[in-house]
Structures are given as C-alpha cells and as structure tokens.
C-alpha cells in the first residue's frame, strides 16, 4: 500500500508531496515531516510514518524528533539576537564574557571564531566522564582549560559538539539563562514554535525515537569521516565520541540526553517550526510582527567566514557565522545566499532570502549521507523547481 502523507500542500508543490511519499514506499523513511514557507506563509506542512522502529506509534502533527546539528543554527540565531540587542560583540574576545576561557593560549580568540568553526577547540583531549554531555560545568571547564588543536583562525574544523557549549556558555554568561531557556523566552514561546533544547519527561510521548542508519553496502566508497574517526586519539574521534559516540541510538533516545542541554546536537523540533523560524530570516527577520533578527544580522550571518577542507570532517565545508552556507559541493537550492544547518542523519533547516523560502525537514530514520541528506535534497530541489 502506498503511503499517504497528512497535512497541507499547495497544489503547486504536489511533486514535493509525491516524492515525500515515495521515500516511504522505497523504505527510506520510518517517520518524517517536511515543511516550507514562502513570504512567511506555509505552503507545505506534511508528515507520515511512525515514531518508533517497531511502527507501533504513528507520526502525528505534533511529533517532535531530535535534529542533531540542525540545533546549531538555532543556537546561532540566539547569539545573533544578542548582537542585535547590543549585548554581544562578535569581534570581542570570548574571554570578555567568559574570563576562564583565557587559558592555554585562548585569550585572544574572538567570538566570531566560535561561530565559524575557526577557534581550534573542536574536542577535548582528555577522556571526559561518561555523564559529561549533561554536565554543563564539566564540559565548559574542560573547554576553558583545553589547548587549541591548531592556531586559532588559521583554518576551520567542525566543532561538532563543542560548538554548543562554547557559544552556549557565552549566551549564559551574558544573559544568566541557559541557551535552552533563552531560546524559549526570546523566540519559541513568543512565536509559538515547537523547538526545544532540553526537554523534560512530559515531552516523551511526543518524541520520535531515532533509528540507527543502515550499514553501508559492501561496495560503498571509503568514508573519509569514518577513516579519520578510526584514530582514538585524533581530533575527529575526540570531536564526536568523547566521552561517548554521539551517533548511538541508545544514548540519544535516553531520558538523560533528552533532558540535557546540548546546544550543538540535541534540539527537538518539528519541520513546521524549523520552516517558520527560517522563513522569518528569509523575509527580513520578522514574523507576525515579532522581530527575530535584524536585516543586518541576517546579512552578517550568511557572509562567508570559512570555505575549504575541513580539519575535522575531511570534506569541503563552507561556513558563515554559525550557519552552513550553500556551496557547489553542498548546494542548498539554486540561489547564492541560502544559509541554515543540516543535522547528522538527515534533518535540515534553512532560509533562502532570494526566493523568500524557509524550509524544514526532520525524520527519525538516520541516513548515511555525510553532509546534505539525499532525501531532504530531493524534496527541496523539487520545491525550487516548482517556483
């Protein structure tokens, strides 16, 4: 029986709906949602499938799912909001806001290096305690003491997990609020958006369980990330597996992980909320009369800071200030100013200011694509083709 997605889809974008349903029929999805706005108005809001591997719980309109590094874009929006409020200067040293960070040669690292993956602190060398991901002070103390892995600013490398603690601690020092609380008070509560960093047990009935990615086929080409991560003392392994590998369903479906604030990797969201938030950034920064970011912040956010071989991922990446930027290697549609963030396994949210499009995709079946998920790309390419 063919899949029937629920929700709304403007007839103009019927191809997106058909492709979304085909992903299920081809066995590529367990449960998923996709959404898009144009000029701030919803044109696609679809969901289908199941919230668990056993397919015993249907994926509903309000199903939340962990979106891994798509969370980084949300955290970056919070940081840019502080810039707009005159509370954060991107050229100022991190130590201005977080004095303890000025250890081990890090006293001059500017805040903008945290956002552009140039700070040289993508990992902690010493083995961290098993519960470190949900021990905020332990993570921040370890990062404050860490020596950079390279000369800050000389190159870029993906701060897969540390990005959230580094940017998040700056947010906390300025506001007195954890990043999750700041996000809620400043953005998601006023806009009624279902995006959360750190959720209590009352959310669990709505959360879809992530399903591990299938193993690669025997004839798959070598994965440079997997090869780099094979060295237990190397920066890549330490960045994604200290204290524990972050792509482990047992870890990330646990109550401890869901309840923690890991602002680089454990946001929970709907595709609808991602599309709405990025839709505001695609249309000048406001939605429903509420200012998310100024046009100046949006322009600055998608100004290129880093482009080329990534010292942690082993692939070519292109970064603005906290956001992944469209690039020939990883296109986010046809236009030059698109910015947002993908997450491991497939989720993504982005804004295209040229087409005035906000897009969100969230799923629980982890995919194996390294940067931009093929399922998501099929959907947003069909969206742009219909414009």
Residues designated as active site: 69
Helix (H) or strand (E) holding 45: strand 41-49
Determine which helix (DSSP H) or strand (DSSP E) holds 121, and give its type and residue range.
none
CA–CA separation, 238 and 231 (whole Å): 9
Q: What is the DSSP letter of 157?
A: -
Q: Which residues of 278-299 are buried (b: 16+ CB within 10 A; e: fewer)?
A: bbbbbbbbebeeeebbbeebbe
Residue ranges of alpha helices (H) inside 315-357 are none
Handedness of CA 65, 70, 72, 76 (dihedral sign): negative
Q: Number of helices and strands (H, E) in the chain?
A: 15, 14
Q: 315: buried, middle or exposed (CB in 10 Å: 19+, 13-18, 0-12)?
A: middle
CA distance 157 to 311: 4
Cross-strand bridge partners of residue 66: 268
Using CA atoms, how far apart are residues 19 and 104, in angstroms rounded to an integer? Answer: 51
C-alpha 268/C-alpha 200 separation (Å) is: 11
Q: How far apart are CA 206 and CA 339, in angstroms?
A: 29
Q: What is the dihedral sign for C-alpha 292, 298, 302, 305?
A: negative
> Per the structure block, which two tokens stand in for 266?
């454990």
Q: How far apart are CA 318 and CA 329, in angstroms?
A: 9
């Amino acid at each position: 029986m063919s899949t029937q997605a629920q929700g709304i889809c403007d007839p103009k974008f019927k191809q997106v709906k058909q492709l979304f349903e085909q992903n299920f029929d081809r066995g590529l999805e367990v449960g998923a949602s996709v959404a898009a706005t144009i000029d701030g108005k919803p044109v696609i809001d679809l969901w289908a499938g199941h919230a668990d591997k056993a397919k015993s719980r249907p994926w509903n309109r309000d199903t939340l799912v962990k979106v891994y590094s798509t969370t980084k874009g949300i955290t970056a929006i919070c940081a840019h909001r502080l810039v707009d409020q005159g509370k954060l200067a991107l050229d100022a040293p991190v130590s201005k806001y977080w004095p303890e960070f000025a250890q081990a040669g890090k006293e001059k690292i500017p805040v903008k290096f945290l956002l552009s993956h140039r700070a040289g602190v993508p990992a902690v060398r010493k083995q961290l305690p098993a519960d470190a991901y949900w021990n905020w002070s332990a993570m921040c103390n370890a990062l404050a003491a860490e020596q950079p892995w390279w000369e800050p600013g000389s190159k870029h490398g993906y701060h897969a997990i540390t990005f959230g603690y580094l940017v998040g601690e700056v947010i906390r020092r300025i506001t007195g609020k954890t990043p999750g609380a700041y996000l809620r008070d400043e953005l998601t509560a006023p806009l009624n958006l279902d995006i959360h960093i750190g959720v209590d047990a009352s959310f669990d009935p709505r959360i879809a369980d992530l399903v591990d990615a299938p193993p690669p086929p025997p004839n798959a080409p070598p994965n440079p990330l997997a090869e780099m991560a094979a060295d237990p003392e190397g920066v890549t392994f330490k960045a994604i597996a200290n204290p524990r590998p972050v792509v482990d369903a047992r870890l990330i479906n646990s109550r401890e992980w869901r309840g923690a604030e890991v602002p680089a990797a454990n946001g929970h969201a709907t595709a609808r909320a991602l599309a709405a938030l990025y839709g505001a950034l695609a249309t000048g920064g406001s939605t429903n009369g509420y200012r998310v970011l100024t046009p100046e912040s949006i322009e600055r956010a998608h100004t290129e800071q880093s482009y080329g071989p990534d010292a942690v991922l082993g692939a070519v990446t292109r970064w603005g200030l906290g956001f992944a930027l469209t690039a020939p290697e990883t296109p986010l549609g046809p236009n030059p100013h698109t910015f947002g963030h993908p997450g491991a396994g497939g989720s993504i949210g982005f804004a295209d200011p040229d087409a005035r499009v906000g897009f969100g995709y969230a799923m629980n079946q982890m995919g194996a694509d390294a940067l931009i998920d093929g399922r998501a790309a099929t959907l947003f390419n069909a969206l742009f083709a219909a414009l």
